[in-house]
Structure 1
Amino acid sequence: MGRSPLFLRVFLLMLICVAVVQLMNVALLIAAQTPTSRIYTVGEIAQALEPGGESTETLTIERAASRKPAAWNPRGERIELAIATALGVAADRVDIRFPTPFLQREQVYSRAGLPAPVPPASRQAARDVIVIGNFDAAVRQPDGSWIEVRSAQTFEPWRKLVLLWLILSVAAVAPFAWALARRLTKPIGAFAAAAERLGRDPRTAPIAIEGPAEIAEAASAFNRMQARLNRYVDDRATVVGAVAHDLRTPLMRLGLRLESAPPALRAACENDIRDMEAMVAATLSYVRDTNTVLDRRPLDLRSLAETVIDDLSDRGAAVALVPGEPVVIEGNSAALKAMLANLVGNAVKYAGGAEVSIACEADQVRIEVRDDGPGMAAEDIERAFEPFFRGERSRNRDTGGIGLGLPSARATARAHGGDMGLANREGGGVVAWVSLPG
């Protein structure tokens, strides 16, 4: 089935976004009226600058003690002369300025070579002079202060229309941008979820091959990688299981040949053979448990722990479970029970007792098995999870198993999407913790 490339889809979607924005701009150009600046007369300005003038909706009047000098402007020079004529005062007492537009610098002019402006013929002619746009005019009073008149800064209707149009443009393009972002991030989220599932359960279902060609190809590569990993693990487990199984035959032959050996030698060799048979049996059990797909169902983890505690208590072990609320998770009952029995049994074997607690932390469930034993050497904490390693130097030298209990328990925790670790407690003892998805 043909699939269009992701690049082409993104490119077309971006073209659609640009086309929508341009169409909105063309519509604005057609619909909007040409903005016009407000027109004032020198008569209005002069009337506001006269003593007793009051602010209006279009003009604002203020008093200032001083006024900073500004660059010369030919337009301002002509209007200053008209205002001075309308007020009947000297031209050097009048000052008018025009604000610099946004993102523009103030223009620099040269007076050299320009003819001097001619004042209006009469005061009425001066009052009829037109001032277009915003301004800031002032006249100096006899005491040195200034009366300032400014055009009111209002939000013109055309600016409101442009702002509204901008909001409409964003609203029109937003669905396309949302679709683009979703299309780009959805496959990435799917891969992240698939990688998380693979880390929790290597036997999880493969990714569905769908979407653009690049995504489908990446999903196929991910699925092939998952299949190769599973085959690699299966092959290694098969080899280890076959070797462990085939070791039983030579061990049996050794036992038969020892029948004619001296009693002392036969007894010593038989003990070694039994140890080797126990190791073979433990290895086969470990390979079988770690290579089996776990069937998961909702279960109450606290009830499962209670059955383990009750079994050990009936045998006289000093074990206890911290009370709490039921904790329901998705898991395999047999595997989790074996894991708990392994951890609590180790604590009883090496320290004489154990205390178990189960608590929910955010989206995780944490199980802790604590004991009051002598603890473990720091270098043995992580090595304790290596197959066939026994850290008896730090605990009880008279007891010990094959060395596959903790590796099997960690494999069970990781098969459920969690993890497991050991740590020395303050004041002595060891805590074995297990985290599982809640």
Structure 2
Amino acid sequence: MMRGFRFLLRPRSLFTHMVALLIAAVLMGKLGSWTVSLDDRAAAVRRTHVEEMLLRVAATTRVMASLPAEHRANALSALGTTETRFMLEDKPAVRADYVGSDPQQVEAARARLRDLLGLEEGQVRLKIWYRSENADPGFLHNPWAAIDPVAMGMKFAIQLPDGQWLNAINRRMVQPTVWSTTATLGLISSILMVAAAAFYISRRISRPLRQLADSADRLGRGETVTILDAGRGPEEVRRVTHAFNAMGERIRRFVDDRTRILAAVSHDLRTPITNLRLRVELLEEGETKARMLETLDELRSTVEATLSFTREELGEEAVRADLTSLVESVCDDFTDVGRPVAFSPAARLPVVCRTGSLRRAVRNLIENALAYGGDAQVSVRVVGPHAEIVVSDHGPGIPEAEMERVFEPFVRLESSRNRRTGGVGLGLSIARSVIRGHGGDVRLVNRSDGGLDAIAMLPITARPLHDSLPLKKAA
């Protein structure tokens, strides 16, 4: 029960939002109409009481008129109650000129009693009063006060055929009925109808929106997303779906064109670099030749790294894989050739990724740690809905002001990086590009005890791995 209340008090989905809002609207509407009707309900209860008293007094008058005078006193004592007293007197108990606070009500009651008894104008007198400020409410008043009991009084004077007056007085606390079983059933049926309508509307809207959100998430991770059906849901949802399909197609074309151009440029640069190297080899030995060969080697490494990256990006589909096995296999590749890389075992973590690109990103982070820290400790951990690959080294670290700049292409920090062993400055840039393409990010953190942590964050897929085999070493 409490869980159901929390479900409505803190709605999360579109359906719960709509149900909560519509139920609140129904309750507020019912409350408003019920509050407005309180005065009418109280007035109806008082009118009913007046009608009951008129019928009772009329019946008593007929009985008294039919009885001999000597038997009337005994009959009256039997007809009286704690709320109503009857008396036979020679004079009327109500003045002939009495009007009261509500002349229309008094005149209507007097006319009703005359009709019931068939008497003339002067033979029936009536007085009605209330001891409550809410009995006769004005335009500006507290409607909730109408549910309070009202002290109601009525006095009658009816002339009998022999000239005597039957006087009667009634005092009663009238309690208005403010709620009923019918009102409860009506409220419950209204809420059920609102919930059913909200369920239908939210399902019609939320289903395509849920598909849209899932496709947007997959597109952000670099997965291939099929074209969504733009003919479902309301017009606004259809427009959003159509815009998403167009956006996804433009992004795919843009990324594919950019990657192909980059691959083509990198491929075309290999031939002139090779020709330049052949020409440099013909030069005489010396410092100039050595520097030129070093520059050509650096340029060739840059082209090869770029070409290798673009080849992996082109045509590779995202699949479900075990992140722990993938990272462990990359670490095994380094340990097999004697590099000081240690991996901390962890549980299986399902992710959706392009395995070739992700392996390159992890490899770049490890190579960065080996080049500038001498060793690498690799671990995989879970932080909320994300998995983190942590690559730690015992190097000199990076100044805080340079943390973001090192991710720019071809940037190497000369104060802490060796130009001969530091590569071409694309490792961290490629790693971050790959990880961001999977919906994550890479950040660097200097440890207080010295060294640097490179942390790659990836979203964990909600879909299980089922029986998919863990990844082994790279070929």
TM > 0.5: yes
**Is 1:425 the equivalent of 2:435?**
no
**Is 1:309 the equivalent of 2:350?**
no
**Is 1:278 the equivalent of 2:295?**
no
Q: Which residue of 1 aligns with 2:292?
A: 269
2:207 and 2:444 map into 1 onto residues whose CA distance is 38
Distance change (3 Å), C-alpha of 1:193 and 1:329: closer
What's the offset of the Cα at 1:398? 5.0
Identify which of 370, 392, 415 aligns with 2:437: 415
8 Å Cα contact 1:342/1:405 also seen in 2:
yes
**Is 1:354 the equivalent of 2:395?**
no
TM-score, reference length from structure 1: 0.65
What's the offset of the Cα at 1:400? 0.2
Distance change (3 Å), C-alpha of 1:327 and 1:259: closer
Distance change (3 Å), C-alpha of 1:250 and 1:392: same
8 Å Cα contact 1:367/1:433 also seen in 2:
yes
2:135 and 2:448 map into 1 onto residues whose CA distance is 73
1:308 and 1:321 map into 2 onto residues whose CA distance is 10
One-letter amino acid of the structure 2 residue matched with residue 303 of structure 1: S
**Is 1:199 the equivalent of 2:240?**
no
TM-score, reference length from structure 2: 0.60
Q: Which residue of 2 aligns with 1:320?
A: 342
Task: Tell me the secondary structure at the aligned position of residue 366 of structure 1.
Answer: strand
8 Å Cα contact 1:376/1:395 also seen in 2:
no
Determine what percentage of the aligned residue pairs are the same residue. Answer: 34
Q: Which residue of 2 aligns with 1:97?
A: 132
**Is 1:227 the equivalent of 2:249?**
yes
Identify which of 168, 171, 177 aligns with 2:192: 171
Distance change (3 Å), C-alpha of 1:153 and 1:239: same
Q: Which residue of 1 aligns with 2:398?
A: 376
2:361 and 2:440 map into 1 onto residues whose CA distance is 13
Task: Tell me the secondary structure at the aligned position of residue 413 of structure 1.
Answer: helix
8 Å Cα contact 1:202/1:226 also seen in 2:
no
What's the offset of the Cα at 1:173? 4.1
Task: Mark the runs of 5 or more structure 2 residues left unpaired by the alignment.
Answer: 1-21, 34-42, 58-79, 86-99, 107-128, 143-153, 160-164, 461-475
One-letter amino acid of the structure 2 residue matched with residue 198 of structure 1: L
2:450 and 2:138 map into 1 onto residues whose CA distance is 72
Q: Aligned pair count?
A: 339
Q: Which residue of 2 aligns with 1:127?
A: 168
Q: Which residue of 2 aligns with 1:67?
A: none
What's the offset of the Cα at 1:219? 2.5
**Is 1:243 the equivalent of 2:271?**
no
Distance change (3 Å), C-alpha of 1:343 and 1:252: closer
**Is 1:296 the equivalent of 2:305?**
no
Post-superposition CA distance 1:199-244 (Å, at most 9, x none): 1226322322221555444433322222222222222222222222
Identify which of 402, 412, 419 aligns with 2:424: 402
What's the offset of the Cα at 1:385? 2.1
1:268 and 1:242 map into 2 onto residues whose CA distance is 28
**Is 1:389 the equivalent of 2:411?**
yes
Post-superposition CA distance 1:327-357 (Å, at most 9, x none): 3334344433332222122112211222222
Q: Which residue of 1 aligns with 2:275?
A: 253
Post-superposition CA distance 1:83-119 (Å, at most 9, x none): xxxxxxxxxxx98226358996459xxxxxxxxx999
Task: Mark the runs of 5 or more structure 1 residues left unpaired by the alignment.
Answer: 1-13, 26-33, 49-72, 80-93, 108-116, 136-149
Identify which of 363, 378, 385 aligns with 1:341: 363
8 Å Cα contact 1:296/1:330 also seen in 2:
yes
Post-superposition CA distance 1:402-424 (Å, at most 9, x none): 12222222233233332222222
Task: Tell me the secondary structure at the aligned position of residue 367 of structure 1.
Answer: strand
2:284 and 2:438 map into 1 onto residues whose CA distance is 51
Q: Which residue of 2 aligns with 1:88?
A: none
One-letter amino acid of the structure 1 residue matched with residue 303 of structure 2: V
1:289 and 1:102 map into 2 onto residues whose CA distance is 83
Identify which of 36, 41, 49 aligns with 1:39: 49
Q: Which residue of 2 aligns with 1:160?
A: 181
Distance change (3 Å), C-alpha of 1:427 and 1:36: same
What's the offset of the Cα at 1:315? 4.2
The two structures, once aligned, show a CA RMSD in angstroms of 4.0
Post-superposition CA distance 1:131-171 (Å, at most 9, x none): 6xxx7xxxxxxxxxxxxxx4445556xx3323322322332
One-letter amino acid of the structure 1 residue matched with residue 134 of structure 2: P
One-letter amino acid of the structure 2 residue matched with residue 374 of structure 1: P
Q: Which residue of 2 aligns with 1:287?
A: 310
1:268 and 1:277 map into 2 onto residues whose CA distance is 14
1:95 and 1:102 map into 2 onto residues whose CA distance is 12
One-letter amino acid of the structure 2 residue matched with residue 192 of structure 1: A
